[in-house]
Amino acid sequence: MTEDDDLLSELLKPLRLVSLFYSRWDVRGPWHVQGDDDECAVLHYMLRNQCYVTLDGRMPILLRPGDLAVFPYGTAHTLGDGSAEPAQPLGTLLRNRQLGTSTTVRIGEQGERTELLCASLHFDPTAEPPLYRSLPSVIVLSRDMLAREPLLMRTLECLLPETERRGPGSQLVTLRAFEMVFVLALRVALQHSSQDSRALRALDHPGISRTLMAIYTEYQQPWTLDTLARHAGMSRSNLAKTFRELVGEGPAKHLTRRRLQKATEMLTETNTPLAAIPQLIGYQSTVGFHLAFRKVLGETPGSYRQRRVGPETLHRGRSRRRPAATRGGHDEPAVPVLAHLPTATQGGRKRSGRTT
């Protein structure tokens, strides 16, 4: 395993789905559906025939059988057969998109049959992998590309029959299967990014990749810009400038986001005392931790834990859950977290909460 592989593992580790809505589409004849901006990732897997995906101001993208399209930010787009059929709003076809459920969408009765599997993938809004926002608004993995990724290909092939199963545990298995597809698709996208993409340049840059690895695996260390620069083998000014260009924010802010990501995991997935968390994630001052937490998440750590876990659950968990410091080390992955700590809205535009 190379250093880049290790870093990629660390960047993708927080990705955990917490809920989803998926739909099986069976359409015939001319069809054209318009979706809205979403607050989650969206996935389309082409099963039969073909369709076109169109984003504002771009050439239509043809999806053939076996192709996978992923929209990391749920960017608004249309699906259709390429005809001039007026676009039908998605909301008229999927009026009730309750998370944790699924449905079948049928359009038309005559003409060639088109089938695809669509899903809205939702995450706990507390952590988003670095470089996620450097991904394109749509990622298309062709069947030929998927054939070179056997684990992703086999997971996709097993996904459809799994969605049709009903029984104990089927909902959780389906959730984790979609999660596997999403993580594997992002891994392929990051590994095969164009040479001018920020994601690939950050992974390939010796100093920036070492800095990211330090932030993600040794966040509890008392890092400063000086010590990070020495670790990266770069000057302070060069590190700050290059890191911001490739990652999208400065090293200090990124370190804060990583530490708070771990704090939210400890608050919701462990019984670690509040007073112990600051030191475990690298804060020398409890006051500094509380100020940073409140500034980014808009509430105190204590209220966050009570709101997310609940006083009764927290009380019952005292005898069952071990503190994070005793569970195998600081880099042991915790259960559900993804999405993002509050950041600027993409492209200066606030997205709606509708699901696809």
Rounded distance between C-alpha atoms, residue 19 and residue 163, angstroms? 14
String of DSSP letters for 154-214: HHHHHHHHHHT--STTHHHHHHHHHHHHHHHHHHHHHHT--TT-HHHHHHH-HHHHHHHHH
Q: Is 74 left (phi over 0), alpha (psi -120 to 50) or beta?
A: left
pLDDT > 70? residue 285: yes
Selected residue with higher pLDDT from 225 and 101: 225
> Cα separation of 186 and 41, whole Å?
11
Task: Give the pLDDT band (50/70/90) at residue 328.
Answer: very low
How many other CB atoms are there within 10 angstroms of residue 147's CB atom?
11
> Is a pLDDT exceeding 50 seen at residue 60?
yes
At residue 282 the predicted structure's pLDDT band, cuts being 50, 70 and 90, is very high
Mean pLDDT of 246-258: 91
d(CA 164, CA 156): 14
**Greatest mean pLDDT range, 35-44, 126-135, 321-330, 338-347:** 35-44
Q: What is residue 20's predicted lDDT score, i.e. its pLDDT? A: 92
Q: Which residue is associated with the tokens 């030191």? A: 279
Segment 213-219 mean pLDDT: 93
Task: Show the CA angle centred on residue 187, arms to residues 330 and 213, nearest 5°.
Answer: 35
Mean pLDDT of the chain: 82
Residue 344, C-beta contacts closer than 8 angstroms, at least 6 positions apart: none
Q: Examine the pLDDT at 229 and tell me if it is beyond 80.
A: yes
- The pLDDT score that the predictor gives to residue 132 is 76
Q: Name the pTM for this structure.
A: 0.73
* DSSP state letters, 309-353: H-HHHHHHHTTTPPPGGGSS-TTPPPSS-BS-SS-PPGGG-PPP-
Stretch 324-349: mean pLDDT: 36
Give CA–CA dist 67/140, Å, rounded. Answer: 7
* Phi and psi angles of residue 141, each rounded to the nearest 5 degrees, phi first: -110, 115
How far apart, in whole angstroms, are the C-alpha atoms of residue 262 and residue 268? 10
Q: Is the per-residue pLDDT at 356 higher than 50?
A: no
SS3 18: strand
How far from chain centre, in Å, is Cα 162?
22
- pLDDT-derived band at 327 (thresholds 50, 70, 90) equals very low
**Residue 123 has what DSSP assignment?**
E
Of the ranges 205-214, 285-294, 310-319, 337-346, which one carries the lowest mean pLDDT score? 337-346
Domains in the chain, please, with CATH? 15-191 (2.60.120.280), 205-348 (1.10.10.60)
